[in-house]
Every structure is written in structure tokens, then in C-alpha cells.
Structure 1
Amino acid sequence: MSEQAPRIAIFGAGVIGCYIGGCLAAAGAPVTLIARPRIHDQIQASGLTLTDWQGRNQHVDAQALTIALEPEALAGQNVILVTVKSGNTVDAANAIAAHADTDALVVSFQNGIGNSALLREHLPGHEVLQGMVPFNVIAQGQGRFHCATEGHLALEESAGAAKLIERLSAAKLPPLLYPDITPVLWGKLLMNLNNAVNALAGIPLAEELADRNYRRVLAASIREALQILHQAHIKPARTGKVLPALVPTVLSLPTPLFRRIASAMLKIDPDARSSMADDLHNRRTTEIDFLNGEIVRLAASHHLRAPVNERIVSLIKAAESQGKGSPKMTGPELIQAVLHR
């Protein structure tokens, strides 16, 4: 990588990509956003406005960014942050192979477990690192993106990432570095099992987590996942305030006690919803196969079953196929569909 400021491309600049890319650009990094037409047109018209729950409020003019629709814009970039949906990882890898310089650093900031392995398989000439985004970002329209929850980016350790780390730190997104990031990914995935519960509920995250019925479903999903991980000899890392093994117990507490013990879980912007809820709302394919589906696949690989997560996957896929947005299931309805079948 060049000694000068690295040129950074965000490949798949959706909600997360626009927020990270916008923060980097606001801190002076040369950033190229490769986005779909809807996002592209918003940014061209309004620039980017970036806010967060701690008071960040920054605006980046469209003229301060390079905004592209096609992967040809990857040429000449020093760092490529991949933020496409997990189902599009192979297509992204093929585009990088076709258009990017071979010495470009590639970083996956995607949901799920196996994206960096896929990228490495298809990009043997590139250094590929795994990253993790713990926070929730809300798209508010007209180029406005709001970070609604806390958390630090995570990044696999590498000397080749020094300039990127410097730029992320300058953008007030300092990453935590890990020699082995896999346990962190599994810890994040456990917390991301709530994406589906929130999508099925169709209400803000704070409202959902304040309802014990929804929490009981989430607790069952995480408890089952922990059992499967144990059988697979995988120990997830702690990524929040509570040890993974204790999360189901805490979620199952009566609401007044839960509010006292887990107040940090409820420090969420009142409008925040999961990315999967946004996908259902916008009639897009969700990442359910790379979240709850990951637990189902891991169970099958060890000749086990994950019935709670299987049922949640089925409910999300049914909602996708109906194309009507969230089914807006009540807590008792979700308990009946997931736990009492």
C-alpha cells in the first residue's frame, strides 16, 4: 500500500457502507462509494449526513466523494471495504478480481461467518481481512444515516492494515484488533439472531426488547445456538456487556428485573430497527441464511438439529415470499409459532 493516504472504496455502499465511508470521508480520506442507483442518486442530490447516538453530526458534500454505480471504479483503489449482502459475496469477489489492482487490501465488513473465506478463495492474489460491524445504522432518507447503537469495529490483525486503521481512528471509528477474529464473529452472530425476531415483530428494537415474549423467543434461539456451538467446539467471544452463556438467562428475566440488570441492552435509539426488518419492509431478500441459517447448517454438519432456528428461518422466508413486509407477529404469536410447535 502506498505511503500516501490510501484510496478507499466501499463496495456495496448501503446503510453500513455509507456510514463507514461517510465517516472516513468526513475525516479527509479519499473515498469512493460504489452503490445501487437509489443510494447513488440520494448522495448526488444531498451528500451524506452522518449522526449517531453520542452526538456525531457531520455532513459530507457530494463533491467530496467519488460516487459510482459500476465496479470499474475499483481500479486504482488501495483498500476495498466489502459491505455487500452476504449472498452477493462471490459476485463481489469476481468484480474485484476483474477491476481492482492486485495489491489492494480487501476487508469484509459483512454479516455472517464465511465471507472472508469466500473472498480469499476467489481472490488468491489479494490480502483479505475479516472485519465486524457491531452497531446498527438507520437510513433516514436523503443521504442521512444514523448510528443508533454503540460498539467498536473489529478487525483481523495485519501489518498491511496499518494505514486503514489510522484512517478509521481519525474518523472516530477505531477498530479493536484480533489475531483470531472467528470467536468474535460467532459472538456477533449470536446477538444478530435478534435481527429475525425484530423483523418478524415489525416494531423498533427498544420496544421489542422491552417485551418479555419476544425476549423468550430470542433467548431460545441463542440458547440453542450456544448448545450447537458447544458441540462444534466453538467458543464465541463476548461482544457486549454480558457473557454469551448468560445472555439467554438475562433475556428470560421478568421485564422489571431485565430493565435493571440489562439496561445497557436498552440504550438504543427509539427508532432503531434491525437490518432484516428494513429488508422485509423494502421487499428485499434478507440475510437469514447467513444468521439463523448459519446455526442450522452448523447443526446439520454435526448431525444435529436446531428446530428453533429452523422455524425462525422458515417464518422469515415465508415473509419474503409474500412480499408484504413484516408479518408484525405479536409476542404470543411468535412464541406459538417458534416454541410451541
Structure 2
Amino acid sequence: MKEATKNSEKKSHHLVFGAGLIGCYLGGVLSHVGLSAFLVCRPLIQKKLSEGITLTDYLGHKSPAISLKFIGQNSKNALTEIDFLWLTVKCTGIEQAVKDMAPYVSKQTVIFCCQNGLGSEAMVKQAFPNNIVLRVMVPFNVVELNAGHYHRGSQGTLTIESIPATERVVQGLMNNMQCDFLQVTNSHDMSALLWAKLQLNLGNSINALADIPVKAMLEQRAYRLVIAKLMRELLAVTDAMSIVLPKVTSLPAHWLPAVLSLPDFLFKRVANTMLAIDPKVRTSMWWDVSQNKSTEIDYLNGAIVEQARRLNIDTAANQKIIALIKGIKIQGENKDRQPPIDGIRLLKMLD
């Protein structure tokens, strides 16, 4: 029965909508494991990837060149039999994406929302009320080392929401997608998992303000103390909502602020897995800021602040970080950034 399910799944068609870092990596993985996968992208991206892509990761795995199949963005020759659509655009691009992806969605299409933060799937469900829409947690970072070379720089297991109606389908996907470059599991309590992921994503904004790689940021206690402040506010909210956060790292959620607050020499000993990332990795919010794009801050820190207001919980630290991110200016034709904020100064700004 398991083999029959696997063979049946390989006949279905996947469409990755959003040719950013995660979208290209995911499209590469789907093609690498032999699934029928198409990538929606602009002509410039299609040209760049026309000779295939290479996948690598922080554990040293490297793929041979992987050929991709493309569909031009806004193509009039949209596929009519897409079984699984992986929506990998940022939260800020959802509103436009639901319009652009409509030609590819038929009554049997299952839509996977792969966004950071909370709440963006609501727009997808509203646009496609008759389709199954499932949330996906993508916990790792991807960077493009050079044209067509996508590198996974940190650990984490891709997690697909599982509901009774999709139990068998999700299990089949998990079986077929597992490989050196991607570990896949499922969750029956995706809301709690996404709150736990949001706790980790609170470092995204700090990385954008620090303007240094994630590993270098985590090696500085002042930055870690800032992240710990943000996390404590999130934990106050989830505790008030009686949400039990699952472990998405080797440490329980409530331990993370204390561990981040340790002196540098102790942190390096206790939390060595947090530092097991490539020294060049930066967060998606850093990339957005560096390219003068809108960030996902309203779906990350903003989601905490919004829920905290309903519960009358103070979130001064998260509110300050939101203001700082929204105040970043990219100046001049060369897009020179305003100076980064060092950890000690940033910590004082939150006091």
C-alpha cells in the first residue's frame, strides 16, 4: 500500500509559485527527488536557471545539476492539472499572488502556504474558499551563493499541516520528499508550531538592524539580550492564550531567553547548535531591507503586538523594534544603508 501511494503521488503535478530563495530551493528539491514540479518565475529568473540549479547545505551535501521546468509569470498557457501549489512568496506579496496564481488553481489543487509569521493564509483561504489550504513551516535559511547555486545554511525540518481530510496525502508527500537536502514531517497543531517558529523569527528584525551575518550577531551578548526581551513578550502572550509551544530547537521555548542571556563563553558551550550555521547566512528580513523592499515585520513582531493588545500585555520592546525597522532608509542610487545599530546601543534603546 505504501509503494502504491508513492507511485500515485509521483504522477501528480507540483507548482512552486514564488521564485525567491525558498521557492527555488524547494523547486530544486521536488525535481531532485523525481516529482513533477514547475516553477513560476519571470523571464530573467528563468534565463538564469535555464541550465539547472545546484543544491548544497551546511552538512556538506551537494547535488548534481538539477533541471527545472518553468511556467512564465502571468502565462496564458497555465497548467490545468496542478495538484499541489506551493506558495512561497513573502507575506507582503500574498495579496497580489492570490490574483496571479488563480489560473493555476483548479478544484483539486491543494495550496501550501509557506510564509513566516501568523495570519497570511487567511487571504488565501478567502480567495480560494473551495480549496484545501494548509500551512507549512520552513525553519531554515537559504542563500544563493552564485547564480543557480542555492545553499541551505541552517538546520530544521519542513513541517506540513495535517488535517483528517489530508492525512494520507500529507504522509505520501513526506515519504516522497525526504532526501539529504530536505527533511519533512507533519503537525496536527500548526498554530502552536507557528507561534514557536515566530519566537525564533524574532531574530530576523535584529539581524536587519545589526546588518551582520546571523552567526556573528548571535556571538554578541547584547544582540542576544535584545532577542531575549522580544521572546519574553511573546511568551507572556502565548502563556495568556494557554498555548503550549512545541520544541523547534533542542531547547524548550521557555528556556531560550535565559540561554540567550548567558555570558558569551557559556552561551557558546550550552547553545552550540544555535551557532551551527554558515557564517554567511542572513535572515530574510535583512535581504528585504537591503533591497529596499517591504518587510514582514507586521506578520512577525506585529502579530505579537496585536494579540497582546487584546490581552492587555505590554510589548514595548517589540513595538520599538517595529518602529526601527519601518524607519530604516536606503539612501541614494547605490542603495547605501543607514549605519547599522550595534548591540549595546540597541539594548539601551529598549530600556
Q: Taking structure 1 as the reference length, what is the TM-score of the superposition?
A: 0.92
- Is the Cα contact below 8 Å between 1:105 and 1:160 reproduced in 2? no
Counterparts of residues 264-283 of structure 1 (less than 5 Å): 264-283=273-292
Cα distance in 2 between the residues matched to 1:336 and 1:102: 53
Cα distance in 2 between the residues matched to 1:90 and 1:153: 24
How far apart are residue 34 of structure 1 and its match? Answer: 1.2
Q: Identify which of 237, 243, 247 aligns with 2:246.
A: 237
Q: Identify which of 90, 95, 100 aligns with 2:95.
A: 90
Q: Which residue of 2 aligns with 1:10?
A: 16
Of 163-172 and 224-233, the range deviating more from structure 2: 163-172
Q: Which residue of 2 aligns with 1:105?
A: 110
Of 168-177 and 228-237, the range deviating more from structure 2: 168-177
- Write the deviation string for residues 12-40 of structure 1: whole angstroms up to 9, x where unpaired: 12101111110111222221111245533
Q: Which residue of 1 aligns with 2:308?
A: 299
How far apart are residue 86 of structure 1 and its match? Answer: 0.7
Q: Which residue of 2 aligns with 1:253?
A: 262
- Is the Cα contact below 8 Å between 2:328 and 2:338 reproduced in 1? yes
Q: Taking structure 2 as the reference length, what is the TM-score of the superposition?
A: 0.89
Of 1-10 and 182-191, the range deviating more from structure 2: 1-10
Inter-CA distance 142–336: structure 2 relative to 1 (3 Å threshold): same
Cα distance in 2 between the residues matched to 1:99 and 1:31: 13
The RMSD of aligned alpha carbons is 2.1
- Is the Cα contact below 8 Å between 2:41 and 2:70 reproduced in 1? no
Q: Which residue of 2 aligns with 1:150?
A: 155
Q: Identify which of 326, 330, 336 aligns with 2:342.
A: 330
Counterparts of residues 166-177 of structure 1 (less than 5 Å): 166-170=175-179, 172-177=181-186
- Is the Cα contact below 8 Å between 2:112 and 2:133 reproduced in 1? yes
Inter-CA distance 194–49: structure 2 relative to 1 (3 Å threshold): same
Tell me the percent identity.
Answer: 34
Counterparts of residues 1-341 of structure 1 (less than 5 Å): 4-44=10-50, 46-62=51-67, 64-70=68-74, 73=78, 75-157=80-162, 158=166, 159-170=168-179, 172-320=181-329, 324-325=336-337, 327-337=339-349, 339-340=350-351
List runs of 5+ in structure 2 lacking aligned partners: none
One-letter code aligned to 1:25: S
- Write the deviation string for residues 256-289 of structure 1: whole angstroms up to 9, x where unpaired: 0111111111101011111111111122111111
Number of residues paired by the alignment?
337
How far apart are residue 127 of structure 1 and its match? Answer: 1.1
Of 231-240 and 280-289, the range deviating more from structure 2: 231-240
Of 155-164 and 291-300, the range deviating more from structure 2: 155-164
- Is the Cα contact below 8 Å between 2:85 and 2:111 reproduced in 1? yes
Cα distance in 2 between the residues matched to 1:169 and 1:75: 27
- Write the deviation string for residues 37-76 of structure 1: whole angstroms up to 9, x where unpaired: 55333212x42111101122124454x4224222654532
Of 325-334 and 11-20, the range deviating more from structure 2: 325-334
Inter-CA distance 94–301: structure 2 relative to 1 (3 Å threshold): farther
Cα distance in 2 between the residues matched to 1:325 and 1:67: 35
Cα distance in 1 between the residues matched to 2:282 and 2:179: 28
Cα distance in 2 between the residues matched to 1:216 and 1:232: 25
How far apart are residue 91 of structure 1 and its match? Answer: 2.7
- Is the Cα contact below 8 Å between 2:170 and 2:186 reproduced in 1? no
Cα distance in 2 between the residues matched to 1:28 and 1:40: 20
One-letter code aligned to 1:328: P
Inter-CA distance 256–31: structure 2 relative to 1 (3 Å threshold): same
